[in-house]
Structure 1
Amino acid sequence: MKKKILILAANPLNTPRVRLDEEVRDIELSLKQSRFRDQFEIISKQAVRTSDLRQAMLDHEPQIVHFCGHGAGDKGLILENNIGQLKPVSTESLARLFKLFEQQVECVLLNACYSEKQALAIHQHINHVIGMGQAIGDRAAIEFAKGFYEALGANRSYAIAFEFGLSAIDLEGIPEIATPKLKQRESPPSSVDLKPDENVLKSDLTKGLETPGSRSRIFISYKRGISPDEDVALAVFKALSQHHDVFIDQTMAVGTPWAKKIEEELQRSVFLISFLSPNSVSSEMVRGEIETAHRLEKQQGKPKILPVRLNYREPFTYPLSAYLNSINWAFWDDTADTSRLIEELMRAIGGQALPIDSEASKRDLITEGPHCDGESVIPEPPPYAQPVSLEPAEGTMDPESKFYVERPSDSIAFHTIDQQGTTLTIKGPRQMGKSSLLIRTKARAEALGKRVAYLDFQLFDRSTLADGDSFYHQFCNWLTEELELENRVAEYWDLLLGKNQRCTRYMSRHLLKVLGSPLVLAMDEVESVFDTEFRSDFFGMLRSWHNSRATTPIWKQLDLVLVTSTEPYQLIENLNQSPFNVGQVIELVDFNEEQVADLNRRHGAPLNSAQLKQLMLLLSGHPYLVRRALYLVASQQISVPELFAQSAADRGPFGDHLRYHLFRMNDKPELVKGLLEAIRQQRCLDERVFFRLRGAGLVQREGQKVLPRCQLYADYFREHLHG
């Protein structure tokens, strides 16, 4: 009996054109030339509507269903309506349909962008389903289909055919081999799909570790749609779920309820397993989950973080280093390590330590692997983007980076720090480049022979920020440690003086006196103190240090550099006691068209002038998002049409960034309300909410109007916020 392959193609009039005719022709040709061609029958349907889909499934009863066209991520697959316009079909509807054919359909191939969610849903009923974890270009989609059906025509299994599809992409030098994702099972969905050696280990892994009723709640954090991250995460999920209650986010619709669910699951979990790869360490959501777990562990003693390095040997960069360097790690190099990793995690959950548990073992792991050249902790992009050497946009930029866009503020900062006894404030919304400018200023100061103490205030935990005495005490301890001086904090804390006086004496009579040379006190994210009861006292103390330079020579040794994303004036009662309105104040703004064009040239000019204008309309010069867009296009990870078409998609080019903002607003209904006011009514009635939203980089004020910072934010949050 012949296997029937039902090909369903849809390219609505109001969607970008894709080469569906070529894909169908190549599938037919691959099978026609194959050895077992007589075992297959191809039925091809074009311009498929929802009614066509049902009828074709009933009429032909296929064993293989191949969809080619457009995917819309969480919104489903795109078919056509009666007039040829796009018609989204939801994930739930597709899963319900395929459930009706689970006895006859063996394999479903969704050759469409961002179709992995639909693949996961259909996989509940169909043994073999292939979807795309991200956008896939025409060439990659066609080559994958050719390789897949060539292998089927040679009587290979679906799993082997999938590998042939990947090989076809790879052989053509197309950098999209990680995009197709295979969901397969040979046994009931509740069983664990492990390799043979893992099955042997199953009974041994938990001996002595588990007792009846000892199930733990576990949260798995990973970067979705990326290999090997997702493959390893799912293998661990399946193994641990046999003995524990494990949460992994695979199919949840993104929105305010999603963010609330993530927060709730972290609060309930005893362990957070975080998979850290060259891709995931730059993920804002992965970092956000680690930050939240770290905060919760300080507050309630759980969850414990279990970091797993996935073939990642580079040092963790800040701020991940602050959370992860002092705790134990596990390491996974390739698929041969999966069973060992599962065993190590099971033992860690049972109370034992992860294997990389000493400074020496951590150094050995890091020094064994290749190192980057300092431009980025992420491995250098593939050579097809050369001769331009690219770096991902995430994080603080190296001061010598060729992609750093110098602005007039740079020369002002340098001129200020060249002097002695100065106060510099750098203000601007999140991801504007404040920390990068701070790093450049720090490097400049060190080149001048100044000592620099760098304190990132976001590392103060909530318990410290809730108590003024604890904060001042930790502030002095931390400053002493940064300068590697003798710690005499306890001695000064015994004085019968107020907190400001103790801290001031410790600075002037110990730290500055022992140093005897210029000191730059660089404080990042100082808005962390704005919600505390002692904010006016602390910032008043910094203002007094600034003023003391005029009367006390030792204070002229001290330079103050403050970095903040939130407007402080509304939060300090007496502006005469504020350090933010004295000295040199720099307020960073978004890139203008000339700077974006310059950055485009540095990336090898992947966008033409018309596309640059479109990018400005979408992002309004947002420095981080502009850099990310140019990097993705220049490194051929996404095409220009796909960049714009998928810009506001949950799994699109900016999806990680957008979901992170959504996650951070989950427990702040006043921010949700304020942002929706800006989107819908161009206003924000609560001035404090406005300052917090502006500090987060989400809104801006133009005259009397409060507007979303860029069109991307308006499009995304209009759809995903509820309030």
Structure 2
Amino acid sequence: MKKILILSANPKNTDKLRLDEEVREIQAALEQSKNRDQFQLITRWAVRVDDLQPILLDHTPQVVHFSGHGTGSYGLALENELGETQLVSSEALAGLFRLFKDEIECVFLNACYSEAQAKAIHQYVDCVLGMNKEIGDKAAIKFARGFYRALGSAKSYKESFEFGKNAIDLQSIPESSTPMLKHRSRRQPRKALTKSKSASPSEIEFKVGDSVTMATSHTTARVFISYRSQEPDRSLAQQFHKTLEAAGHQAFMAGESIRLGETWPQRIDAELKQCDYFLLLLSELSAVSEMVTEEVRRAKLWRDQRIDKRPIILPIRVNFPLNSPLNYDLRGYLQQIQQREWASPEDTPSLVREVLSVIGERGQWAINNEELLDLPVSTRFEDNPDYLPLPIASPELYREPGGAVPLSSGLYIERSPIETDCYQEIMQPGALIRIKAPRQMGKTSLMARILDHARSQGCETIPLSFQRADSKLFTDLDQFLRWFCEQIGRRLKRWHRLADYWQGYGSMDKCNAYLEECILEEIDHPIVLGLDEVDRVFPHREVADDFFGLLRSWYESARYGDASSELWEKLRLVVVHSTEVYVPLNINQSPFNVGKNVELPEFSPKQVQDLAQRYDLAGNSDLVAQIVALVGGHPYLNRKALYHLRRNDVTLEQLVLNAHTEAGIYIDHLRRHLLNLQQYPKLVEAMRQVVMKNRPVELDSEAAFKLESMGLVRLQRNDATVRSNLYRSYFQDHLQE
């Protein structure tokens, strides 16, 4: 007989929950199951903190189910003697379940924001369910019913969890990603683990090469290992994987962990969502890998969203010195995170020791260098840390394409008359230029050249990447605008006066007053702000609407005149964002539509021919035609093809034949698109329709707009055609029904 103990608490000073309905549904699910005689259901209502130990001692259940309120890192809400809220911390709950770790098999926390408690309890209980954010009553009840119905039908805890999630989906409730599972199989320690004679009971001994190292194993963590499938990256990743598993942690390494037949995009995404640590093996090739960059982006995204601020990113540079430049995105994601270096196998033992120590102690590794804020910041564009593209090493043609094209590069292709028009526009009083396109189309490269031109004409130029803003700033207008003003003030050496202006109410008024009185009144020449990655603001409408309204008001003040129009004429703006930001949003147009709009087109065949000449590959008349037939005019994909051909890595025939396969040079780019596309079933179906037909396909307006925003299709009205043969071949293989 398996005992299921249900503990319910709904303090009278909290929102009313449908706990009685949840218990009835659980009871009904078990009674309808084929193994109902093997379960005993025990319920306790209005549970107080003092009740916990006695109830568990009296009943010794195998499953403990809590229904009630969760408060994230503050704990679960139980009741006190007055029936009001008394919080129980994650640490206290973990300590409680440690006392019953030999009896309790599963803990089910059906409460909002209970992930932190689930992770703490999972140190001692093999299976723990929780919620990574708020969950509605209906979804919570359906999930519980599905879970216990499966459990009563002899399914495992892990399988029952999946049944519970599916029960939510079947009701068309968009919350099936909210429940999370912390699970490990009950097993004996592996044979590779042997007690050390000098070790304490909480320590184990393991081999790293020829070295013996000690590591604590009192906690269990999930570690995602990001690496490139090359040497020495692969061997180093395998070393970490084996050692972490031997120490009792759950390590994910795509080459070792994804089984034949599994859908890798879903598995990758699931592992990134659940991992506690993201171990990044960063070599010269992985630093320009789209998939590695995408994994880092997603890890940072989940870290910003999760209450426990996980996963912690642990970067190790593999034969890739710290002074070697990173691409635009990676440098933004990894800013202010300490990085380690691996130069030879002799470095492996010490790095493994440090990683195991950090994980075993639930350490951070990453630090926020507050002292960096007090360092002088150069106002030169090319030296400014916000301008991430760096000079490329000689010979330029042998440098892997990635990120923006530096000012010093001879590989920048002008798309006339865009550059000339922008150079003229930025010199107009109060100018505002909006540059938008999918990723890797050259937006930041164009912004760099506009600012460089403005500087040559006597303007003060300030590049500002919104990647440098902490995610929490985008949820608070006052904090965000203060950060925005501070970045401008630091570059102009006027940031120390900001505190005088940031008092009282009205965030937008404070921002206006600071820029007008402290900046524009005191500087004689025009100021050009280059705002990159502003798409980070778009999802946060409470901040986005006011911020873009503020930019619009500055533009209109300069153009249409008011008492301070002469001051605002000095301020010019270049605003850059990726159109891919539209995909997860419930919008079908930019929330910001004033000023000069620049939508970057693909290269024409003539421009691809020009680029080929710069790579010294213009002798083959058929080369450009075949590349354009394969990838169209996509700037990055053309540069990548010419780079590999110039190095003689592949022949033209091999490049074209293998382009859409795992052996092709574009596999990282294609996998990134597939990974993103799989998040949206409606877009998957729309893309399937497009690639399976050789004629334009009429799509609904939202799907058509979002696929175009991703750069996957071309539109004529709502009729869509696939953007390149590369995409057609790849997605035909991977989107088959």
Q: Common fold, TM-score beyond 0.5?
A: yes
Go from structure 1 to structure 2 and tell me whether the alpha carbon gap of 1:530 and 1:678 turns closer, same or farther (over 3 Å shift).
Answer: farther
Go from structure 1 to structure 2 and tell me whether the alpha carbon gap of 1:573 and 1:545 turns closer, same or farther (over 3 Å shift).
Answer: farther
Query: 1:578, CA displacement in angstroms?
Result: 7.1
CA contact (8 A) 1:295 1:461 kept: no
CA contact (8 A) 2:473 2:480 kept: yes
Go from structure 1 to structure 2 and tell me whether the alpha carbon gap of 1:230 and 1:696 turns closer, same or farther (over 3 Å shift).
Answer: same
One of 205, 212, 218 as aligned partner of 2:223: 218
Counterparts of 1:82-97 in structure 2, within 5 Å, are none
* 1:699 aligned onto 2:699: no
One of 243, 254, 257 as aligned partner of 2:263: 257
Distance, in Å, in 2 between the alignment partners of 1:690 and 1:434 is 22
- Structure 2 residue runs of 5 or longer lacking an equivalent are 1-189, 194-205, 373-387
Distance, in Å, in 2 between the alignment partners of 1:199 and 1:635 is 35
* 1:282 aligned onto 2:288: yes
Residue of structure 1 equivalent to 2:530 = 522
Query: 1:197, CA displacement in angstroms?
Result: 8.0
Q: Whose relative contact order is higher, 1 or 2, with alpha carbons under 8 Å and at least 6 apart?
A: 1
TM-score if structure 2 supplies the norm length? 0.62
Residue of structure 1 equivalent to 2:552 = 543
* 1:508 aligned onto 2:513: no
Query: 1:479, CA displacement in angstroms?
Result: 3.5
Go from structure 1 to structure 2 and tell me whether the alpha carbon gap of 1:514 and 1:254 turns closer, same or farther (over 3 Å shift).
Answer: farther
One of 652, 667, 671 as aligned partner of 1:655: 667
Distance, in Å, in 2 between the alignment partners of 1:558 and 1:500 is 17
Residue of structure 2 equivalent to 1:561 = 574
Counterparts of 1:491-502 in structure 2, within 5 Å, are 491-497=500-506, 499-502=507-510
Query: 1:491, CA displacement in angstroms?
Result: 4.7
Counterparts of 1:157-556 in structure 2, within 5 Å, are 198-202=208-212, 204-206=213-215, 209-211=216-218, 214-224=219-229, 226-243=230-247, 244-250=249-255, 252=258, 257-300=263-306, 301-313=309-321, 314-351=324-361, 380=394, 389-408=397-416, 409-458=418-467, 460=469, 463-489=472-498, 491-497=500-506, 499-534=507-542, 535-550=544-559, 551=561, 552-556=565-569
Residue of structure 2 equivalent to 1:32 = none
Residue of structure 1 equivalent to 2:103 = none
One of 614, 622, 642 as aligned partner of 1:602: 614
* 1:592 aligned onto 2:586: no
SS in 2 for 1:643: helix
Go from structure 1 to structure 2 and tell me whether the alpha carbon gap of 1:688 and 1:431 turns closer, same or farther (over 3 Å shift).
Answer: same
Q: CA-to-partner distance for each residue in 1:316-337, whole Å, 9 max, x for gaps? A: 4433223323122211112222
Residue of structure 2 equivalent to 1:614 = 626
Q: CA-to-partner distance for each residue in 1:518-575, whole Å, 9 max, x for gaps? A: 2111122333333332444332321211111142110011001112333999999999
Distance, in Å, in 1 between the alignment partners of 2:271 and 2:619 is 42
SS in 1 for 2:656: helix
CA contact (8 A) 2:426 2:454 kept: yes
CA contact (8 A) 2:336 2:368 kept: no
Give the residue type in structure 2 aligned to 1:528. R
SS in 1 for 2:727: helix
SS in 2 for 1:250: helix
Q: CA-to-partner distance for each residue in 1:219-252, whole Å, 9 max, x for gaps? A: 100122x222222212222222211210001164
Distance, in Å, in 1 between the alignment partners of 2:239 and 2:346 is 12
CA contact (8 A) 1:284 1:656 kept: yes
Q: CA-to-partner distance for each residue in 1:229-288, whole Å, 9 max, x for gaps? A: 222212222222211210001164899932221121122111111011111111111111
Give the residue type in structure 2 aligned to 1:395. G
Give the residue type in structure 1 aligned to 2:648. Q
Give the residue type in structure 2 aligned to 1:486. W
CA contact (8 A) 1:218 1:269 kept: yes
SS in 1 for 2:616: coil
Go from structure 1 to structure 2 and tell me whether the alpha carbon gap of 1:254 and 1:525 turns closer, same or farther (over 3 Å shift).
Answer: farther
Distance, in Å, in 2 between the alignment partners of 1:500 and 1:691 is 33
CA contact (8 A) 1:274 1:305 kept: yes
Residue of structure 2 equivalent to 1:161 = none
* 1:631 aligned onto 2:640: no
CA contact (8 A) 1:677 1:684 kept: no
Distance, in Å, in 1 between the alignment partners of 2:587 and 2:319 is 51
CA contact (8 A) 2:397 2:643 kept: no
Distance, in Å, in 2 between the alignment partners of 1:298 and 1:356 is 15
- Structure 1 residue runs of 5 or longer lacking an equivalent are 1-188, 362-373, 382-387
CA contact (8 A) 2:392 2:406 kept: no
CA contact (8 A) 1:344 1:354 kept: no
Give the residue type in structure 1 aligned to 2:331. S
Give the residue type in structure 2 aligned to 1:259. P
Give the residue type in structure 2 aligned to 1:429. P
Go from structure 1 to structure 2 and tell me whether the alpha carbon gap of 1:458 and 1:315 turns closer, same or farther (over 3 Å shift).
Answer: closer
Query: 1:611, CA displacement in angstroms?
Result: 2.9
